Amino acid sequence: MNVHPMHPFLTRAASVAAGVAAAVPAEQPLDARTPCTDFDARALVNHWVLYTSHGLEHRARRTELPQELIERDFTADAEWRSAYAAQLDRAVAAWAEPAAWEGDVDLGGSPMPAVGIARMLVLELLLHGWDVARAVGGEIEVDEELASVVLEIVEENAELYRQYEGFAGAVALPEDASAWDRALAASGRDPRWKA
């Protein structure tokens, strides 16, 4: 089977996200503030789990997210971290099918090319992964090649995302900043943010 050239990056992003989730301490209260000012840690984790694992699979299959999932508090399950990793595996497997990358995905009346959706979900996995990691005092490890892909996707979409308040204004960084820090900054995140 010929997988899309973007699929390995999606796979790696999912692996990084699963690692971030696994590192959230079991005793960690999820009421902390986060780099996403609209979300506390619990709301952020629920948004991240919903759209980057369940949403990722449903986009590949061109099916709607059930209301039950939209309303679920994933963090109420003590095993949410391993459940998230397992759902990420199912989602990545769905995108291994060549047909998943063909045509458009309907986002509630706004069709978007499937490749664009997958690239957007790489951002969701990693940018919100950073948000979650920082909110709980953790770290996220993104290799230079993957970081460069994220930076490219952020720069392609930043102005559009800002129009819809998905990104804040870009943050100034030193010229020698890494690709990952530049991707965070271009998305309106300050790489120096601490909980």
**Tokens representing residue 47 in the block:** 């948004």
Per-residue pLDDT of the chain (195 residues; tens, 9 = 90+): 688 999 999 999 999 999 999 999 999 889 999 999 889 999 999 999 999 999 999 999 999 999 999 999 999 999 999 999 999 999 999 999 999 999 999 987 889 999 999 999 999 999 999 999 999 999 999 999 999 999 999 999 998 889 888 899 999 999 999 999 999 999 999 999 998
Report the SS3 class of residue 40: strand
* Residues making up the chain, counted from first to last: 195
